[in-house]
Structure 1
Amino acid sequence: MVLVRSSGNAVTPADGLRTHGAVVAGVDTRQLCDKLLAFAFEEAAHHRAALHVLHGWTPPPILSYAPALDPVVLQETAHGITATLQEMLRPWRDKFPSVEVEVRAPIGHAAIQLVEAASDASLVVVGRRIRSSTLGSHIGPITHAVLHHSTAPVAVVAHDY
């Protein structure tokens, strides 16, 4: 599913995508994201756009000073997440060598990070787990927030757990 908002008086290209800006993909390093990454890389390649892969994260909540607040620990954690993202992207970079890829793992809530990154993006790609239950929400809080607050078109790619 792709959501494209009306942009008032601005002219939107026939394909619904802006003609400038990167494709931004929000990735959860704890989930299989092959369908999401395939879609994001294909769109970036098709539109000759850069691909910005983002995984926002927050340190665990604590009640008092702890090593988790140490800037060195935070930096090492961010480096580990970035390394995980790089490993996830390796096969896709090999398949799409023409796509320029930027990987970021900023500290902060993923939804806020994605909405901010979407401010000058041509497309934002997020995931939605396929659920068989008829009860409860079928999209997560990050996808929900991006759908409601992104100014860029948003593609929601359904994927297995």
Structure 2
Amino acid sequence: MDHHIIVGLDAFPESAAAARWAAREARLRDAALHLIHAEPWPLPLGIPAAASDARRGWAETVLQEMADELRRAHPGLDITTQSVDGPPAASLATGAATADMLVMGSRGLGSVTGFVLGSVGMAVMHTTERPVVLVRSGEDALPHETEQHTRRDVVVGVDISRPCDALLAFAFEEASRRSCPLHALHSWPPPQFYGYGSAYDPGMLARINQSATTGLDQALRPWRDTFPTVEVTARTPMGHTAQQLLEAGADAGLIVVGRRIRRSLLGVRIGSTTHAVIHHATSPVAVVAHD
């Protein structure tokens, strides 16, 4: 399979930041970059054909201008563009079916800090099983080394109660490419009635923490062996998982979280931790689907 990265492009600053992030990622992976703009079709009744032609011309201009900018910044990078008619979520998911990853911009609105993921982004997340990376416009304000991401750390949230090989493979590979540390985090909730009378038992908390530490070490061990040059730190704090990840990843180059693949009539569900991280993180977030 040829390595390539898909970017969903529109006119918003977050989209441009996503394209620039994806170009740096493509250089790291020695992969091609494919920019896609999807236009809903058919247009609502009453909108003349001339308006449709104008929209197509605008889309081609947006795609070409971004491609030209990225070619200047990354000479030799294989960049292609495509404007498609159809539901944006379905079009992006189809384009990403054989890609290394799909990269999209995600927007902070007004005084809200962090990601505000729109209906298209959420629908894509529900549709594709490829890794999806969400990038905010603030990423463009950070300094970057020539032709690659800054060497900020990678943070991964690990649920030791479920298989997570796909999640850890992605996180270790990203840290290896960047030659940066990887921080693995598994948090556990305080026991019920924690802090009340006999339920406050430091020995019990120590036993829970030791069990979590052992479980996380076991999950990481084969990946440490596979990527011996990656510097790994593992933490098992007590507390809310999403809050712990947001704090640990505040200055990270990438936060990696998981989404379980569910092939049923109930559809796809994004867990509460991943949902909170993608809506409130300020760093780029990779959502990795796994069994």
Normalised by the length of structure 2, the TM-score is 0.51
Q: Distance in 1 between matches of 2:187 and 2:149?
A: 24
Aligned to 1:156: 287
In structure 2, the CA distance between the partners of 1:12 and 1:155, relative to structure 1 (3 Å rule), is farther
**Structure 1 stretches of 5 or more lacking a match?**
none
> Which of 223, 230, 250 is equivalent to 1:99?
230
Partner SS for 2:137: coil
CA RMSD, aligned part only?
Answer: 2.4
Q: Distance in 2 between matches of 1:152 and 1:57?
A: 23
| 1:112 corresponds to 2:248 | no
TM-aligned CA deviation for residue 135 of structure 1: 4.0
Aligned to 2:189: 58
Aligned to 1:29: 160
Match of 1:143, as an amino acid?
T
Match of 1:150, as an amino acid?
A
Please list the CA deviations of residues 91-126 of structure 1 after superposition, one character each: whole Å capped at 9, or x if unmatched.
100000000000000010000000111111110000
Q: Distance in 2 between matches of 1:20 and 1:144?
A: 26
Aligned to 2:37: none
**Structure 2 stretches of 5 or more lacking a match?**
1-131
Report 1 or 2 for greater relative contact order, CA contacts < 8 Å, sequence distance ≥ 6: 1
TM-aligned CA deviation for residue 13 of structure 1: 4.8
Radius of gyration: which is bigger? 2
Aligned to 1:87: 218
Given that residues 136 and 282 in structure 2 are in contact (C-alpha distance below 8 angstroms), is that contact kept between their aligned partners in structure 1? yes
Given that residues 261 and 268 in structure 2 are in contact (C-alpha distance below 8 angstroms), is that contact kept between their aligned partners in structure 1? no
Q: Distance in 2 between matches of 1:61 and 1:137?
A: 30
User: How high is the sequence identity, in percent, across the aligned residues?
Assistant: 54
Normalised by the length of structure 1, the TM-score is 0.89
Aligned to 1:145: 276
